[in-house]
Amino acid sequence: MDRTYGEMAVTSIGPLSFMAGDKGLEKVAFLPLNTLKDILENNTKTPSLKGFETINNLLTEINAYLHGLLRSFTAEINWDVVAPYQRTVLELVSTIPYGEYMTYGEVATTLGNSKAARAVGHALAANPMPILIPCHRVVSADHKLHGYLGGVEIKAFLLALEGHQVIDHRLKIAK
């Protein structure tokens, strides 16, 4: 499949790289583009026009989001790049509104298996499109920030950007 790549070399959270194809966005990485291309399998040389349109739109939207001017994204996501269970988890997480959060256990319970919090965590840890699929909005039951593809500092930054107070890698919850 033909793919198009894009990069934001300098952002408030470091470099971001993107890959999109004919079915939409396939990858967001907290890496410089050359590094992303080095680690990808099937690194095609033929660009995708649809991918170019997706990346072009995404660059504008990510920039606006990181400056607090955008709350949701319009980029089409290629769900074919994720396994079925992970897709179920990511589709649910993609509905968590800007400025809100869920716990891993709440996600698991919503999916019908309250004992699957760890499986939810594993699915989110492999999220190929962080930020757009907002896995940063999922925290532990004690509101502590755990693993994030870009690092816990970026997770804290994104949650703070969306209006949460984060102290010592934990959401401060108003009582």
Q: What is the pLDDT of residues 45-81, one digit of tens each?
A: 778 899 999 999 999 999 999 999 999 999 999 999 9
Look up the pTM and report it.
Answer: 0.93
Give the per-residue pLDDT at 138: 97
Alpha carbons 106 and 32: distance in angstroms, whole number: 34
Q: Give domain limits for the chain.
A: 3-66, 83-172
Q: Is 93 a known active-site residue?
A: no
Q: ∠ CA 15-21-23 to the nearest 5 degrees?
A: 125
Active-site residue (options: 92, 135, 145, 159): 135
Give 42's pLDDT tier (boundaries 50, 70, 90): low
**DSSP code of 131?**
T
Number of C-beta neighbours around residue 98 at 10 A? 13
* β-strands 170-172, 165-167 pairing: antiparallel
pLDDT, mean of residues 85-109: 97
Topology adopted by domain 83-172: Arc Repressor Mutant, subunit A (1.10.10)
